[in-house]
Each structure stands twice: as structure tokens, then as C-alpha cells.
Amino acid sequence: MNKSIMKKFLIIIMLFFLLALPFSIATDIKFEKYSRLNPAVVQISLEKSDTLGKIIDNDFSILEINQDFVIVFSTSEELKWLEENNLNPIVLYDSYAEMMGWINNPGLLDDFHSYSELTAELQDIESTYL
């Protein structure tokens, strides 16, 4: 009788740990708003002369640059780094899709209905620039 109680107790403890494991793993996963697959579009002022060098040295993907500011793609981690280095980043868009208007107007994604329409458009662009 004593052995059967021990077996039941061990089974209950094992079930408890097996059921608790997925929850403990889930708490270790960090959710980052901006990732490599979905970066933010961020503007950084070029008031300081060393700002552009810092951006280039840290391998940011530059989308646009002019005399006053640079626009880059940024993950949450990179955004934190920009803030810690007092570069005062301004998040312009939460994603490239938002910047392109695809989120607010999904019809923009339906410009090409077939492969032949796409290739025809590309051939028109090619002939314009050759």
C-alpha cells in the first residue's frame, strides 16, 4: 500500500512539472515590437558630427540620408541602443508595410494580378531606363 501511494505521488509531481514546463519556457521568450523581420523606420538627427559614423559603425540599414537627418531600419534592441547613446531616435513608422501604405490600403498589394502583368510592367521599366 505504501508503494502505491509513493507511485501516485511521483506521478502527480511529474505531471505537475510537465504541465508547468511550457509556461516557464514561455516567460523566457521576449516579445520585441521591432525585429529583423519587422523593423521600425526611424529618423535620427545629424546635428552631432559623429552621429553618422556611429550609425555606419553599428551596421544600421540606411533608407535615406540628407544633411539634416538619416532614416534607418531599427529593431527594438537597436532602438534602445540609439536612446542610450543620446541619438534621440524618432519612430516614423512601426513597419515598412506601414510606411508603404500597405496596412491602411491593402489594395496596393493587388497591383499585379498575374505573372505576365508583372513581367510586362518590369519590361516597361527596363525600356524606360535603357
For the chain, domain boundaries? 1-30, 40-120
- How high is the pLDDT of residue 108? 61
Considering only residues 79 and 13, tell me which one the structure prediction assigns the higher pLDDT. 79
- pLDDT average, residue stretch 77-95: 93
**Which residues, 6 or more positions from 97, have their beta carbon under 8 angstroms from its beta carbon?**
103
- How high is the pLDDT of residue 107? 67
Q: What are phi and psi of 14, to 5 degrees?
A: -65, -45
Q: Would you place residue 66 in the very low, low, confident or very high pLDDT band (cuts 50, 70, 90)?
A: very high
Span 40-120: which CATH code? 3.30.70
- How high is the pLDDT of residue 56? 93
- How high is the pLDDT of residue 28? 47
Cα–Cα distance, 18 to 102 (Å, whole number): 43
